[in-house]
């Protein structure tokens, strides 16, 4: 009996020390390493800024009112939009958006690029699909309740851009973020309700996911043709419609594919409306006075200081103060001021760590820009002017 106890004790001691030994020999295979040479950064000048709305509902969504595609597209043309994604609820047509939203005779424009897409409306939440060409959306609808690994494979086969919608709150995106290319960080004119979406975005970025932040008005209701056609939701038309907010993409050219590519790559900014200033964010890596990268780009950190430039392009208010909040790796980093004028620019320097990831992004507050076609939206935006996507350092492109 005693001997058995003794033996047990010996075994226990031996296994403990083996475990301790294993622990000291442990090497985390995921710890930061020098990233392999990264793909070269695309041209900062050979492209075009295009503005649009990536979340809209037409009459093919049963919860919309007075919102034909002609009404949406006509309005978008009148305020100078470059692209639109009409994203009707796919469950309202049992997945067959192809024979509803896309084959509607009104789905056409001479000046606005119309993406093929839909709002993937599932038990576990909502996401938007975007594509430069028609794709078999029915397949995505059919797998909506399957495991994420099945859905991810279908998404990949279809070659679409998938985006997480209104990620916090009702109908939040309840799937893995590993299968999406972007996240809706600004849903509708009501900026204040997006705080949790921004928090989720920062969590995804901080954990190494290079995920584009985008906007979407999620507007459902148009102007009635006659007073009798008004619904209980018609009031929304004056406060939330096409362009509240507006998503800017720096596209290689004015084509549908270039819009989707820019969205995937992250050369994207979101503004309160189409007339509000656009936030551009650049870095000069060798401090030679010439900018080397813009938001969405991923560079290898040199271990030396870089100069960062925040630029507001468009209708800034002459002489007004703009507050630029810089977020670094999910935490408030710096608050800068810039005065509105011909050039509204602020710069700072910092040294991204040589080993491991760093990201910087910017949110801008200041005087609201009037949007006469959607007059109630400015009050809902508050002082929020716009936001940039991150500048990335040492992000693993094969993550």
Residues binding Zn ion (CB under 5 A) = 119, 126, 165, 171, 218
> Do residues 397 and 288 lie in contact, with contact meaning Cβ atoms separated by under 8 Å?
no
Beta carbon of residue 90, minimum distance to Zn ion (angstroms, whole number): 11
Is 85 or 384 the residue whose CB approaches Zn ion more closely? 85
Rounded Cα gap, residues 56 and 64, in angstroms: 10
Is 174 or 330 the residue whose CB approaches Zn ion more closely? 174
User: Which residues neighbour 108 within 8 Å (Cβ) at sequence distance 6 or greater?
Assistant: 73, 114
Closest among 226, 119, 103 to 162, alpha carbons compared: 119
Closest-approach residue to Zn ion (CB): 126
Beta carbon of residue 218, minimum distance to Zn ion (angstroms, whole number): 4
- Chain-centre distance for alpha carbon 326: 17
Beta carbon of residue 49, minimum distance to Zn ion (angstroms, whole number): 25
Rounded Cα gap, residues 271 and 114, in angstroms: 20
Is 210 or 220 the residue whose CB approaches Zn ion more closely? 220
Is 118 or 291 the residue whose CB approaches Zn ion more closely? 118
User: Which residues neighbour 178 within 8 Å (Cβ) at sequence distance 6 or greater?
Assistant: 148, 152, 209
> Do residues 201 and 389 lie in contact, with contact meaning Cβ atoms separated by under 8 Å?
no
Beta carbon of residue 228, minimum distance to Zn ion (angstroms, whole number): 26
HSE on the CB side for 88, CA within 13 Å?
30
Is 165 or 381 the residue whose CB approaches Zn ion more closely? 165
Which helix (H) or strand (E) segment holds residue 200: the answer is helix 195-206
Is 104 or 171 the residue whose CB approaches Zn ion more closely? 171
User: Which residues neighbour 378 within 8 Å (Cβ) at sequence distance 6 or greater?
Assistant: 272, 273, 368, 369, 370, 371
Is 180 or 294 the residue whose CB approaches Zn ion more closely? 180
Burial bucket for residue 169 (CB in 10 Å: 0-12, 13-18, 19+)? exposed
Beta carbon of residue 323, minimum distance to Zn ion (angstroms, whole number): 31
Is 217 or 358 the residue whose CB approaches Zn ion more closely? 217
Beta carbon of residue 150, minimum distance to Zn ion (angstroms, whole number): 22
Angle at 336 between CA 331 and CA 338, to 5 degrees: 145
Burial bucket for residue 290 (CB in 10 Å: 0-12, 13-18, 19+)? exposed
Is 160 or 364 the residue whose CB approaches Zn ion more closely? 160
Beta carbon of residue 208, minimum distance to Zn ion (angstroms, whole number): 27
Beta carbon of residue 57, minimum distance to Zn ion (angstroms, whole number): 6
Closest among 288, 285, 290 to 354, alpha carbons compared: 285
> Do residues 298 and 393 lie in contact, with contact meaning Cβ atoms separated by under 8 Å?
yes
> Do residues 120 and 153 lie in contact, with contact meaning Cβ atoms separated by under 8 Å?
no
Is 171 or 350 the residue whose CB approaches Zn ion more closely? 171
Beta carbon of residue 170, minimum distance to Zn ion (angstroms, whole number): 8
Beta carbon of residue 16, minimum distance to Zn ion (angstroms, whole number): 53
User: Beta strands 384-388 and 331-339: pairing type?
Assistant: unpaired
């Amino acid at each position: 009996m005693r001997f058995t106890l003794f033996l047990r004790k010996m075994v226990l001691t031996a296994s403990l020390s083996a475990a301790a030994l294993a622990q000291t020999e442990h090497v985390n295979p995921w710890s930061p390493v020098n990233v392999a040479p990264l793909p070269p950064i695309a041209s900062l000048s050979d492209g075009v800024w295009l503005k649009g709305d990536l979340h809209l509902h037409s009459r093919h969504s049963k919860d919309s009112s007075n919102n034909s595609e002609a009404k949406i597209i006509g309005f978008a043309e009148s305020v100078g939009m470059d692209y639109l994604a009409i994203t009707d609820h796919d469950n309202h047509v049992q997945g067959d958006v192809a024979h509803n939203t896309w084959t509607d005779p009104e789905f056409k424009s001479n000046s606005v690029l119309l993406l093929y897409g839909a709002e993937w409306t599932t038990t576990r939440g909502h996401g938007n699909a975007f594509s430069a060409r028609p794709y078999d959306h029915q397949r995505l609808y059919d797998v909506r309740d399957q495991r994420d690994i099945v859905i991810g494979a279908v998404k990949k086969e279809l070659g679409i851009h998938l985006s997480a919608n209104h990620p916090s709150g009702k109908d939040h995106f309840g799937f893995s973020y590993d299968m999406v290319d972007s996240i809706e960080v600004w849903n509708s004119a009501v900026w204040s309700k997006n705080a949790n979406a921004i928090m989720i975005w920062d969590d995804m970025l901080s954990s190494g996911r290079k995920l584009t932040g985008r906007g979407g008005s999620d507007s459902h209701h148009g102007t009635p043709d006659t007073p009798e056609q008004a619904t209980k939701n018609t009031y929304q038309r004056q406060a939330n419609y096409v362009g509240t907010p507006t998503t800017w993409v720096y596209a290689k050219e004015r084509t549908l594919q270039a819009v989707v590519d820019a969205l995937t790559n992250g050369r994207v900014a979101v503004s309160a409306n189409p007339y509000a200033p656009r936030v551009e964010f650049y870095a000069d890596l060798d401090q030679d006075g010439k900018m080397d990268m813009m938001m969405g780009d991923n560079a290898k950190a040199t271990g030396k200081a870089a100069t960062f430039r925040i630029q507001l392009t468009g209708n800034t208010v002459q002489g007004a103060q703009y507050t630029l909040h810089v977020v670094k790796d999910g935490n408030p980093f710096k608050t800068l001021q810039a005065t509105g004028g011909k050039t509204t620019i602020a710069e700072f320097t910092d040294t991204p760590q040589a080993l491991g990831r760093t990201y910087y992004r910017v949110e801008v507050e200041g005087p609201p820009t009037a949007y006469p076609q959607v007059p109630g939206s400015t009050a809902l935006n508050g002082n929020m002017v716009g936001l940039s996507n991150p500048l990335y350092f040492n992000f693993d492109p094969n993550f």
